[in-house]
Amino acid sequence: MSKKEKTQENSIKKKSTHKDWYKLDLSAIVYPTLQRRDFSSVYRLSVLLKEEIKPDVLQKAVDMTMPRFPTYKAAIRKGLFWRYLEPNNRPGPFVQADVKNPCQPMYFKANNRYLIRFYYYGSRISLEAHHSLGDGTGGMCVLMTVAAVYLRLLGHEEIPNEGFVLDITQEPDSGELEDAYMKYANAKVCPPRPGEKTYRVRGTKEPFYTLNIIDGIMSVSQVMEVAKKYNATITEYLNAVLLYALLEKQQKDWHIRLKPVKIAMPVNLRRFFPSNTLRNFITMIYPGIDPRLGDYTFEEIVVQVHNYMRYYINEKFLRGDITTNAATQRHPLIRVVPLFIKDFVVRQFYTKVQDRNSSAGLTNMGAMKVPEAMKPYIERFDICMGQPFSSRTNCAIISFGDILTINFASSIIEADVERYFFRKLVKDGIHVKIESNRTLDVME
C-alpha cells in the first residue's frame, strides 16, 4: 500500500471513529455499583419471527449493525473518580443458542468485555443488555435494527428505516449519545423523595444462576375492555392487579404488622422531554396502597392508582425528580471523592433505603410500533426486567397487534404473587395462556 493510500485510509478511519470514551449517564452510574458475583442489572428483549432463525445470517446482521450503536459496542472501564464506556473493537458480540435461565450476570471482563448478548431459539431473537448501556428504548432500537437487517439479508429488502429501525449506513445523531438527564435536570428546586420501608415478599431463594420466568399471553382488546370497565388505562389496571396480588400475599403471610405495598415503575422520560437518546432516560414512580389504613376493594385500588398516575406523571414533577437525582452528581465535593468511596456509599444507600422502597417492579413498554413492511414477519415481542436485586418479583409488559405479553421474573421458588395476579385476570374474564421455563401451573 502506498503512502498516499495509507493516508486516505487513516483519514476515512478518523472520520468514522466515534468518541474515545463516553461518560456514564446519571442512571448508569448506579448499576455497576450494585454488581455482585450473583447479580447484574441485565434486561432482555425478544422478537418472535414467523420463520426459524438462521444463526449464520443473524451473526452477519449483528456484525453489520453494532458499529451503528457506539454506546452498545462498548466496554466499561474504571477511572479514579468515575466509570466510563470506551469503544470495544474486540471480536463479537457472538450470537449464541438460547439458555434456560436468561439474564445471567454479566462480568465486565468476560465475553470480550461486551455488555450485550444475542441469543436465538426457534424463531426467537433475544437481546440482553447491561443497564449501564441504556434502557429498554435504546435496547429495542438495537434489537429492531438487527432484526430488520436480518430480514433484509434474507431478501426482504422492502423494510424501511423508521421508528425503532435505524439506518446502519448513517453516523449516530449526537442526541442519541447524550446524557439527557443532565440536559433537562434544571428545576429550581430539588423535591424531597419520601421513603418508607415497604412489604417484602419472602421466599426460598433459588440456586445461583436460576431465574424463574412466567409469561402470560393474552388479548390486548380483552384487557382494554376490562380496564375500561374500571375507568382505567391498561397500565393503571395492571398496576392495580399487581398491588392486589401483593396485598393478598401479605395477608396470607405470617406478619407482626402490615406494611405499605408499593410498585417501582419506570417512566420513559422521552414522552415528556424532546430527546432521542439511546442511553438511559427513565425515572421511577411508586404507586402504592397502605393496608394499615383499612381494607381496600379492588375498585378502590384502581382509583388510588389512577389518581396517583394523574398527579405524578407530568413534565413538572418529573423534571423536579431528575433534578433531585442530578444534584448529587453535580456537587463539587462529590465529584472529587474517589470511586471506591462513592461505590460504598451508593451501595449502602440502595440496599438499606432505595431497594426497600418497593415491593415489586413493573414496567410497560406499551404497544410496539413496527414499520408496516416488517409486520408480516413478526409474531410477537417479549420483555424481561431480569433478576431482582433482592427477593421479589419483577413484572414487564409489552404488546404487538392484539397480543399482550406479561412477563414475571423471580429468583425465589414460590410463585404466590404471580398466581394471585393471573387468577385476578381470569376472574375478570381475560383469557390467559401461560408459558414458563419451569414446571408450574400458576392458575391452580
Dig out the grid coordinates for 121 from the structure: 431459539
Domain-located, residue 35: yes
Stretch 187-207: mean pLDDT = 83
Residue 18 confidence (pLDDT): 54
Q: Cβ distance 165 to 375 under 8 Å?
A: no
Q: Tell me the pLDDT band of 8, cut-offs 50, 70 and 90.
A: very low
Whether 117 and 251 map to the same domain: the answer is: no
Q: Are residues 216 and 434 in contact, defined by beta-carbon separation less than 8 angstroms?
A: yes
Answer whether residue 12 shows pLDDT above 60: no
* Exposure string over 322-337, b if 16+ CB within 10 A, otherwise e: bbbbbebbeeeeeeee
**Percent with pLDDT over 70 in the chain:** 94
Distance, in Å, from the CA atom of 211 to the CA atom of 338, rounded to the nearest integer, reads 35
What does the pLDDT read at residue 329? 78
Claim to verify: residue 150 and residue 218 sit in the same structural domain? no
Closest-CA residue to 104 (of 34, 28, 208, 31): 208
Sheet architecture: strand order including 42-49: 95-97, 116-121, 124-130, 42-49, 378-384
Task: Using the predicted structure, report yes or no on whether residue 19 has a pLDDT greater than 80.
Answer: no
- Range in 217-226, 233-242, 331-340 the model is least confident about: 331-340
Q: 303: which residues sit within 8 A by CB, 6+ positions away?
A: none
Decide if pLDDT at 6 tops 60.
Answer: no
Average pLDDT over residues 300-314: 95
- State the pLDDT at residue 255: 78
Report pLDDT for 13.
42
Alpha helix (H) ranges present in 201-358? 220-229, 234-252, 298-312, 315-330, 332-335, 339-349
Does a structural domain hold residue 314? yes
Domain hosting residue 397, numbered range: 212-436
Mean pLDDT of the chain: 90
According to the model, what pLDDT value does residue 16 have? 42
In the predicted model, what is the mean pLDDT of residues 137-149?
Answer: 97
Residues 162 and 229 in one domain: no
pLDDT band with cut points at 50, 70 and 90 for residue 326: confident
What digits encode the pLDDT tens for the residues 52-110? 999 999 999 999 999 999 999 999 998 888 899 999 999 999 999 999 999 999 999 99
Q: 389-440, pLDDT tens digit by residue?
A: 887 889 999 999 999 999 999 989 999 999 999 999 999 999 999 999 887 5
- Do 391 and 277 belong to one domain? yes
Is 347 part of any domain? yes
217 and 326 belong to one structural domain = yes
Q: Are residues 227 and 357 in the same domain?
A: yes
Domain limit, last residue, from 109, 143, 167: 167
Q: Are residues 220 and 135 in the same domain?
A: no
Is 176 inside any structural domain?
no
Q: What percent of the chain has pLDDT over 90?
A: 72
Of 22-31, 232-241, 342-351, 366-375, minimum mean pLDDT range: 342-351
In a domain, 261, yes or no: yes
User: Taking 80 as the threshold, does the pLDDT of residue 154 lie above it?
Assistant: yes
Residue 322 lies in a domain: yes
Strand 212-219 to 433-436 pairing? antiparallel
CATH code for position 133: 3.30.559.10
The count of structural domains within the chain is: 2
Q: What per-residue confidence (pLDDT) applies to 336?
A: 77
DSSP 3-state of 367: strand
